[in-house]
Amino acid sequence: MKLTKDYLQKYFKPQYYFNRDLSWLEFNRRVLEEALNPNLPLLEKVKFISIFFSNLDEFYMIRVSGLKEQIRAKVFETSIDGLTPIEQLHQIENTLRPMLQQIYLYWNNYIIPELKKNKIYICKLDELSKEEREGLNNYFIKEIYPILTPLAFDPGRPFPYISNLSLSLAILIKKPTGEKHFARVKVPSILPRLLRVDKLIKHDSRNNNGKIKFVWIGELIKSNLNMLFPGLEVLEAYLFRITRNTDLEIQEDEADDLLELIEENIRQRKFGSVVRLEVEKQMPDYMIDTLIENLEITRDDLHIIDGPLGLSDVMLLYDLALPHLKDKPFYPVTPPIFDEDENIFSLISNKDILIIHPYESFTPVVDFIKEASRDPDVLAIKQTLYRVGQNSPIVKYLIEAAERKKQVAVLVELKARFDEENNIYWARELEKAGVHVVYGLVGLKTHAKMTLVVRREAEGVKRYVHLSTGNYNIDTAKVYTDIGLFTTDEEICADVSEIFNYLTGYSEQKEYRKLSVAPINKRQTFLELIEREIKNVKTYGKGHLIFKLNSLVDPVLIASLYEASRQGVKIDLIVRGICCLIPQVPGLSENIRVISIVGRFLEHSRIYYFYNNGNEEIYLSSADLMQRNLDRRVEITFPIKDPEHKAFLKEHILDTCLKDNVKARILLPTGKYVFNHPVYNESLVDHQEYMMQLVNNNYKKSLASKINNK
């Protein structure tokens, strides 16, 4: 029996798959559940509310817009779960609307009162003192009024352009003649949505008794609209917000210059079709109808909101210096090995080094590039950059290396969604410094996370490699769980060199020594490893797979897991987000258990464990098991060879994830998730809390040992 696509075709039945987008909504429901968690500090709840809405914005900009494009193009094909685009949209809305109702009820009836109990007030203007109102009006006149542009809508002036995710006021005004007209005022996005009163007016804060007061900027603008329409009567004004399609197709094969093409796509993204309209509950029907008609949408695209629009902006509250309303702060520790009085290349030469982020600091990764840029024996640095962040020290050191006349080649992925502008900026900065910049391969995103340093040493030229499951981004490294490996393994280094040649030059290479590479051989490699587990369970009576990843979508790999389950292989899946596999179905997946963990850190690492009849193998990867990762991206999967590292990953990450009974949810065959509550007398296990304590304890032991040795 070979796990070929033809053999696995028997599993391609709609009843065997969850819908991808509905599964994503269940992930966002788990984010919502964190906001509802009674044991979470107040501002942590606010943070998860913000994340819920930020996730939802992106979902509409990409996934919902894609379904609407299919409907416009009269695509009636069903997805693998058997739903047409129209059916998917209906189910999305039917699933989402009760969630929105729940979260706004929670915001209005719980969060706002709890904020007040803690002296944080989101006030209506009439709740402020006369002095505060006057101070805010002065602020409006000086700081807000000059920015605003009222836009009229009448036979001589077309309906104004509304930008994506912008907040606007729909206004009805009346002229002295009695004529009524529609106007729009955009709430400026360069100013904070929530204005902190005591910071904006000259006011003795001691009079507030420690109260922190905010007002919504939209309410302040609304109360001063008469200044924008002098001589006219403002009859009504209501807030609304739109979401546009931002997932515009990039025809790379028709482009002479990918950089120019991406820049043009960023400009065009602003004019994508409208896919969602959010309005205040109080907005009258005639005004809603005006918006719907001119935005060229239908009532199906309308969300009537009983509360503030765009609650992703409440993350601003999380920045308040109120530690008693947040989780106890956690500070990553530097792995003890980097405290040695040796340079980083000597340390990596001695043994492979594994770093577990965000529990362990990202600083050694930055230092690796820094040392490489300044070491006179380093000849070349090659690196892939996918999401690098705003103020990247890594880019700074790459530029420094080029200025020191080292060979520096960097693949900057311009197609990293929503990071395109940032990546274009860094690509140009790198090019100015003389770095060889490559923008990626036609038709493929480069999602692999690799750094190669070539160094001249006494024995000859030596290569050093850093591979990772996550991005070279100092900000996300503080909140994403990822794993990085430093190694001088000759076969891995040779593979990485050849992958860089594939990315920067021409290569038809199909096989690698130790790495599997998408889209070349990753899918086939995984099918063979799963097939080996099936053979082992038949021969030796035991097979076990543990996959930890963000998303499980690919039908072929899901089918192979179904086959493995039917053959008796035990399968544990730790899937943070989308899971299209249906677990615990008799005769199909009764040996498959799926859990999801949503906690203070974003679970982002991909770990693939194969029992292999006791000769355990563990692979780390930049790739999830999705069609895009396997077929349309350059991805790497690399083995962990050091026995201590393998034991650590199995015991402290995979096993504690599976034991988690605080933050873990279990996926049911219905598609719903339930908390993995502890049974009677069972100890509580919170995987992320466990990891924080573990690295802190290990660091303290190492420190104590060094002190004693001295």
| Residues designated catalytic | 447
Sequence-ordered list of residues with C-beta below 8 angstroms from that of 454, at least 6 positions apart, any chain: 378, 379, 380, 381, 407, 461, 462, 463, 464
| Cβ atoms 408, 435 nearer than 8 A | yes
Sign for the CA dihedral angle at 332, 336, 342, 344 comes to negative
| Cβ atoms 579, 546 nearer than 8 A | no
CA distance 436 to 432: 10
Assign 270 to helix, strand or coil: coil
CA distance 45 to 309: 18
Sign for the CA dihedral angle at 372, 376, 378, 380 comes to positive
H or E segment and range at residue 248: none
3-state secondary structure 302-353: EEEECCCCCHHHHHHHHCCCCHHHCCCCCCCECCHHHHCCCCHHHHHHHCCE
Q: At CA 665, angle to CA 636 and CA 551, rounded to 5?
A: 25
The DSSP code for 181 is E
* Paired strand residues for 674: 666
Omega within 30 of 0 (cis) for the link into 38? no
CA distance 382 to 452: 5
Cβ atoms within 10 Å of 546's Cβ, excluding its own: 24
CA distance 243 to 277: 7
DSSP 365-400: HHHHHHHHHH-TTEEEEEEEES---SS-HHHHHHHH
- For the chain, the straight-line distance linking the first and the last C-alpha, in angstroms and rounded, comes to 61
H or E segment and range at residue 285: helix 285-295
Sequence-ordered list of residues with C-beta below 8 angstroms from that of 504, at least 6 positions apart, any chain: 409, 411, 436, 438
Sequence-ordered list of residues with C-beta below 8 angstroms from that of 236, at least 6 positions apart, any chain: 171, 172, 284, 287
Q: Minimal CA–CA distance to 607: which of 638, 561, 644?
A: 638
Residue 510: burial class (beta carbons within 10 Å; 0-12, 13-18, 19+): exposed
| Cβ atoms 289, 165 nearer than 8 A | no
| Cβ atoms 369, 385 nearer than 8 A | no
| Cβ atoms 295, 162 nearer than 8 A | yes
CA distance 121 to 648: 47
- Give start and end residues of each alpha helix (H) in 362-489: 363-374, 393-403, 420-432
The DSSP code for 127 is G
Residue tagged 């009448």 (tokens): 154
